[in-house]
Amino acid sequence: MPVTLDPDAAAVFKAFLEAGRPPYETVSPVEAREFYLQARFVSNPEPPELKSIEPLAIPSPAGSIPARVYTPVKLRKANDLAPCLVFFHGGGWVIGNLDSHDVVCRKLADEGQLIVISIDYRLAPEHKFPAAVNDVVAATKWIADHAKQLGIDASRLMVGGDSAGGNLAAVVAISARDNGPAIAGQVLIYPAVDFAMKHPSHSEPETSVLLTHTAIKWFSGHYLNSAADGNDWRASPARATTLAGLPPSYVLTAGADPLRDEGDEYVKRLKEAGVAVTYRHFPGQFHGFFTMGRLLPQANVAASDIGAWLRALN
Could you confirm whether 213 is annotated as catalytic?
no
Over its C-alpha atoms, the chain yields an Rg (Å, rounded) of: 18
Question: Per-residue pLDDT for 41 more than 90?
Answer: no
Phi then psi for 147, rounded to 5 degrees? -55, -50
Q: Indicate the range of 15-24, 80-89, 288-297, 300-309 predicted with least confidence.
A: 15-24
State residue 86's pLDDT score: 99
Question: Per-residue pLDDT for 304 more than 90?
Answer: yes
**Alpha-carbon distances of 152 from 81, 84, 144, 182, rounded to whole Å:** 5, 6, 8, 13
**Active-site option among 102, 153, 257, 261:** 257
Question: Per-residue pLDDT for 40 more than 70?
Answer: yes
Topology of the domain comprising 7-313:
Rossmann fold (3.40.50)
Domain locations in the chain as residue ranges: 7-313
pLDDT band at 1 (very low <50, low <70, confident <90, very high): low
Could you confirm whether 257 is annotated as catalytic?
yes
Could you confirm whether 304 is annotated as catalytic?
no
**Active-site option among 89, 199, 222, 287:** 287
**Alpha-carbon distances of 224 from 46, 54, 94, 305, rounded to whole Å:** 36, 32, 11, 33
* Average pLDDT of span 291-308: 97
pLDDT band at 126 (very low <50, low <70, confident <90, very high): very high
Angle made by CA atoms 58, 64, 69, in degrees to the nearest 5: 35
**Active-site option among 163, 175, 201, 220:** 163
| Assessment of whether the complete model's pTM goes beyond 0.95 | yes
State residue 3's pLDDT score: 86
Angle made by CA atoms 54, 154, 95, in degrees to the nearest 5: 50
Identify the three-state secondary structure at position 255: strand
Helix axes 102-112, 297-313, angle to 10 degrees: 50
pLDDT digits (tens, 9 = 90+) for 143-201: 999 999 999 999 999 999 999 999 999 999 999 999 999 999 999 999 999 999 999 99
Q: Where are the alpha helices (DSSP H) in 1-75?
A: 7-19, 29-43
CB proximity list for 63: less than 8 A, separation 6 or greater: none
Phi then psi for 73, rounded to 5 degrees? -65, -45
Question: Per-residue pLDDT for 66 more than 80?
Answer: yes
pLDDT digits (tens, 9 = 90+) for 213-234: 999 999 999 999 999 999 999 9
Question: Per-residue pLDDT for 89 more than 70?
Answer: yes
CA distance 102 to 210: 21
